[in-house]
Every structure is written in structure tokens, then in C-alpha cells.
Structure 1
């Protein structure tokens, strides 16, 4: 039995990372690991275009650090589902860029600030100059893969946001996105509170794309997701997290990977979604999550208007 809506899948090639970013609670992961080739092939077998409209290669690790990065890219090439990738950009050299070109639809690089001091505080352990050189190389090298920048909406990054955007656009990078929510992942950013209304204002002011729109297959499918799930959390219900272990997780907020609801070796996506539809909120994950009540009527209306405008711009 098929599920009458499509979702995005967040697939974690590795929970290991070469950075220790200020907004990422990776210290909660007890045993970071990399996905095996056998598990990756099982994941690919589970991803059907009538159930999954988009796969984001991200998770809580850096996909370019996977020891079999090139082989994993080759495995996904013939797959009918769209694949996007999130990266911190540090290892995106010309060799990797050329190899993923055309296999990945959208390459999103997280970039905090043109200010080197801010960058060092936010993207800890990364070389800003190297990342900037890689971005320029990506702008030159990529022909079939679209390049996007995910601008970090932390308070430290906002004073130099205009200068950061100006540098990116001066180097031919025009697809700039930002989330209208500073997501408090695992309680990491409890001390940082920034109103979504202010972030939306900045998104409009600078002509950015709101990242929430990338997780919306259609307004009708969002409604069907919300109606069928016992726990009506829209951000959780539109995304299915597949960990490096092959476990389907209850929610992407399960940073510690402690709440599996199935495994790719045994469970098709439809069965996992039906199981998840009947599940209630998990207090250990949901209490304190600033995404849980993210979309009330007013916010849904704002997001819906933004979604309609984006679709009109894209034709």
C-alpha cells in the first residue's frame, strides 16, 4: 500500500565530520560511523520517486569525508530520484566537483560569513580561504549541478550579511538561501533566539530563497501529511532521516541516533511512514525543540505565499 503523499529523505553517508561548527550538536553522537556500500545500495533500493521527491545527502556528518565518496556518487547516477548534497565546502576540490557534476542536482554549501573572525567562530576547524577558493572553483567547474549557498542565520553572521552576499554574487554565485528559523538542534543554540519575522525580513531584503520551500513537494501533499500523522509536526513529517547505520530515525532532531523506527534492510519507506503516522511526540526529542510548533496558521500562510511566489518565478 502506497502512502498518498511524497516526502524528502535526509540520508547520512557519514556521521563523522571535519568541522566542529557552533550550531551543530555532533558531540551527542556516541559512535560516529560511515555508511557501508551494502547499506547504501539498500537505501537506493528503498527510494522510489512516487514516495520520495528529493534526497538530501547530509545528516550530521560531512559527505565529502566519506572514504568511498567517488564510488557512492557512481552508485546513485542512474537513480530516478533527485539527489542534492549539503557540504561545508572544505574538501570540495576540483576532482570531487567534476565527479559529482550532473549526478547531484543541487550542491548546497554552508557558509557563515565573509568576516574571517566570524567564520572561525561559527565554522570551527575549517579554513575559510580554502572554502572560498573551492566556491570559486565550483562556480567555474559545475555545468549540470546547480550551486547554492546556505547562509547561516546566527546572530554573529548577520552584521556582515550584506558583505557576504556581495562577495558571493561578485563571483557569479546567485542562488543564495537562508532558513527563516535558527533551528535549535539538540539544544545547541538555546541561548540564541532570533525571531522568524526578522529572518524573513532579511530574506526579502537581500533577495534570498527561503530554505523551507525546498522541502515542500506540493501544498496538497503537505496537507495530507499533516492530516494523517498523529503528531502534527510539519517539519518532522515532511522529512525522513536515514542514518549512516541504515536506521530510519523518528526525527532529524534525534541527533544522538537513539530512536530508530526501522532499518533499510528490512523496511520499505511506505511501511516506515505508516508506522510513524501513528506515533506520538517523544518528550526527549520534542520538548524544547523550536521546530515543533513552528507553523501556526499565520506562519503557514506566510510560507504558502512564499511557496506560490517561488513557483511562479520558476515558471
Structure 2
């Protein structure tokens, strides 16, 4: 049985949800997993996308997530999307549904006669989901009608579930040098935000090395951090050995109600060896963008991908489109070939 739920939703251009909320579930479509997709639906480069080709008539096509649990604190479902319409027909419709154990509930219904929806870069659709908190659901995107020809595409860039907690502290960023010299003191900054609705007293901010989980440094905070407030903590470190590693920032409090956002993403750090290495990057590819960069989620040619890697590692190199005649001065040579057709 399908039910239609009357809700109030908002189109937000360049804004986010209220400050006292926490992302408790998110899908950025970065690995292509977790969705059952019918014809014309696919996950491409971090976007769940419906396209009109191949043209289908009298169609009813869906993309459905695997089941996931909406925490008791769940408040909003935020979908960043863009609908591009070729012809504003009254015969085709886009829908978003929540599938529970007993029902299929329409939470968003959009006839193509309304024209495009959102910005081409994506806009947030905010849907209240208080009524579904504490249940297991599946999220479904559905398109149906006479012909897919009236579509251009439907891009779903990101899906987030927000929740509200009284006490919730999180690390939102770690920044600092990507490389340091031997015995050089580097300073890394950890951003900490209170996403809870109440102030929080007492927490520890730490940076750990991912390899072996060695402690880099920590700061004890005894003062209150107010709801919605962000603070910044500097942690110093130096090394007497040259190696490559990565750092992660962690915030801990005994009063924290949601530990899912206590750890930051990893940050690459290189301790440079005390020696000079001459590196050559020979760009011999044909400029075809055939490599998917997982960090930037874009297609690049081989030489651009290698340049990004070397730059991120803060490795000095010489770039050449033609191979130098004398290679004796180089310790390392990277060569790109690209894709070529032989006949």
C-alpha cells in the first residue's frame, strides 16, 4: 500500500540546516554500493543519476536504498539534488518515497510540468521525518510516466539525515602543513563544534597518527562550549625520523551523546628526508581524461593525476612535455602514456 504524506518542505539555495543539528547518516554515492537501481538509473562520479536515455515509454523506474535505521533523534532528511526537464509535460512525475515494513509513503511529489527544480550544482530539499524516527526504512527515488524523452536528468548528489542531541561535540576539520623538515616544529589546528542544543563542559582534543595510533598531542578543555559554537585548538609536533604518515583528530567527552562525529577525516603528513631528490614528471599522454580522481571526484588525464599526487605530498619536481636528452641528473622519473588506439 502506498500512502501520501502531506508535509512542508523547503528549497534552500546555498544554506544548510539549523546549527543545533547533527548529521547522523549520510550517503555521498562515492562507491556505487547500497542501491538497487532499475533501468536509466546509475551512480556516476559521486552522483545518483536518472537519465532519459535509452528512451522508455510507459515507464516506472526506481532507485532504492538498502534498509537503514532512523535514530530516535532523527529530525530531517536533506537531499541535495537537481532536476533538469526537457519538456514540462503533465504526463511524467518524480517522487521520493520512504518504504517501511508496512507502507510506501510518498514524501515528495513533483510533476514535470513544474519545470526544472533547483540549481544545476544542486539544491537542498529539506523534509521533516520526525514521524519515522526509531524505524527501519528504505529511501526510494521514483520516476514514472508516458516517456522518458521529456526528461533530461535527475541528479542526486548527497543524502543526509539530521538529528538533534542535547550534548553533541564533533571534530569538523584538521588543517596544517602537509610536510615538515626533520626536527621542524609543525602546528596543526583542530576545529571543534558543539552541535548539541545545550552547552557542554569538559572535553579532550587529540591528534593521533593513523599508523599505530600514536598520540601526536592533546589539549584539555575545561571551559564551557556553547551550543553552535566552534573553537580552534593548535597542537605542535616534530619528528626526528623521515617518513610518510597521516593524522586524525579526535574529540572526547563523557557527556557526548553521539560519538559518530568525534573523529576527523585523515590528513596526509610527510616528514621530508634530509637529502635532495631530483624528480622528473614527463607528460607523454594524449590529454584524454581517463583517470577518476577519488579525492576530487572528477576525470583527469594521467599527468594531472600525478601532479596532484606530487603536490599533495609536497614533493618538488620538474615537469616536461618532451623527454630531456640527458637524464643523469634525475633520481626518479615518472612517465605518463595515456590511452592510444592502435590499428
Q: TM-score range by the shorter chain?
A: under 0.3
Say which structure is richer in helix. 1
Provide the TM-score with structure 2 as the length reference. Answer: 0.22
Provide the TM-score with structure 1 as the length reference. Answer: 0.24
Say which structure is richer in strand. 2
Tell me: higher relative CO, structure 1 or 2? Use CA pairs within 8 A at least 6 residues apart.
Answer: 1
- Of structures 1 and 2, the larger Rg is shown by 2
